[in-house]
Amino acid sequence: TFWLDDGAIQAWYESATPSSRGRPQRYSDLAITTVLVIKRVFRLTLRAAQGFIDSIFALMNVPLRCPDYTSVSKRAKSVNVSFKTSTRGEIAHLVIDSTGLKVFGEGEWKVRKHGKERRRIWRKLHLAVDSNTHEIICADLSLNNVTDSE
């Protein structure tokens, strides 16, 4: 269930006159903050959050428009939004493993065309994962000469 306060509807669009040069802002900080919170809560991209909020407004018959994703992206730097991070419970089992990653670059085309002439570059990705939630607790990228026990 979504509930939209009348005060939020009134404050959705920017009403103050611009004090600086440039195009005046159409949406208030409240609108930008609302989009960022919904984006974070539902784990959406900015475009998906824009469509989601526009759909909610259409279903509620509210004559508002969601700020477009480019406006939200630009204004997100200047709006203060604090999110409470989810608290991890006690970690019962921690799984630690590593895997090799091959580094591709402009030399790969040359090797394919002329043959192998230099040593390939590898990196090691070390991960520590909670076995219950599959959450990555720690990640580290190292050179290929580092062993798992280091």
Report pLDDT digits (tens) over 82-138. Answer: 766 666 678 788 888 888 887 766 666 667 777 766 666 778 888 888 888 888 888
Report pLDDT digits (tens) over 93-107. Answer: 888 888 888 776 666
Parallel, antiparallel or unpaired: strands 122-130 and 136-143? antiparallel
Q: Give me the mean pLDDT over the 36-43 stretch.
A: 89
**Residue 53 pLDDT exceeds 90:** yes
Question: Where is 44: in which H helix or E strand?
Answer: none
Euclidean distance between CA atoms 97 and 133, whole angstroms:
16
* Side-chain-side CA neighbours of residue 56 (13 Å): 14
pTM of the model: 0.56
- Token representation of residue 111: 């090797």
Tell me which residue has tokens 């070390």: 126
Question: Where is 130: in which H helix or E strand?
Answer: strand 122-130
Contact indicator for 72, 44 with CB cutoff of 8 Å? no
